Amino acid sequence: MTVSDQGLPLPQTDSYLLGKIGETDAGFVISIDRDSFPPVEGCICLKGADINATKTHAKVAEILAGKKVDVLLSDMAPNATGHKEMDHERIIELNLELLNIATHVLKESGSLVCKIWEGSRTRHFQSVLQTVFEETRTIKPDASRANSAEKFIVALGYSNPKLDVLKR
């Protein structure tokens, strides 16, 4: 199993993933973030890497060497401004970019997990995901504050789109 972890990879998360991968096959974890983060032994770490940059896309393609990832995991979020709707728009745009990346790196029947902040475009984003995944679920982690708009979308059963469903 191969996992690409975007946006503030956490050592405990990536260590857990590596443990699960090590139990099943010779897969690996690629950890990517625009900021610096503590290295995790066994992970391929891309620090200071912007997922929107062509240079990052090329580096990921080089690492994958023609292979695809099983899971695209994202805890990406823009720096919050305090303006709820603007912050929501920005996280939706990040997730649309993540979905665009999925069209290049996620294998058929793969999974995507991404952070979202509730807002006016949440349903539209979910409907876009439903066009390319067999199943989608929204979850609110126990660790998330009750009054927080933070949720995660889990999308399973990826089918690479043959047409442009990713229009914003």
In this predicted structure, what is the pLDDT of residue 16?
62
Higher-confidence position of 8 and 143:
143
> pLDDT class for 83, splitting at 50, 70, 90?
very high
User: Residue 65 gets which letter from DSSP?
Assistant: T
Superfamily of domain 85-168: Vaccinia Virus protein VP39 (3.40.50.150)
Torsion sign, CA atoms 91, 104, 34, 28: positive
Can you tell me the mean pLDDT for 141-145?
79
Q: Phi and psi for 28 in degrees, rounded to 5?
A: -155, 170
The model's pTM is: 0.83
- How much is the average pLDDT of 104-130? 93
20 within 8 A of 1, measured Cβ to Cβ:
yes
Residues marked as catalytic: 115
8-58: per-residue pLDDT in tens? 555 556 566 666 665 455 677 888 888 877 777 778 888 888 888 889 889
Which amino acid appears at position 79 of this protein? N
Q: Which pLDDT score, from 0 to 100, does residue 133 have?
A: 96
- For the chain, give every domain's residue range: 1-67, 85-168
Q: What is the pLDDT of residue 168?
A: 44
The DSSP element (H or E) to which 89 belongs, if any, is helix 84-105
Which of 37-51, 106-120, 141-155 has the lowest average pLDDT? 37-51
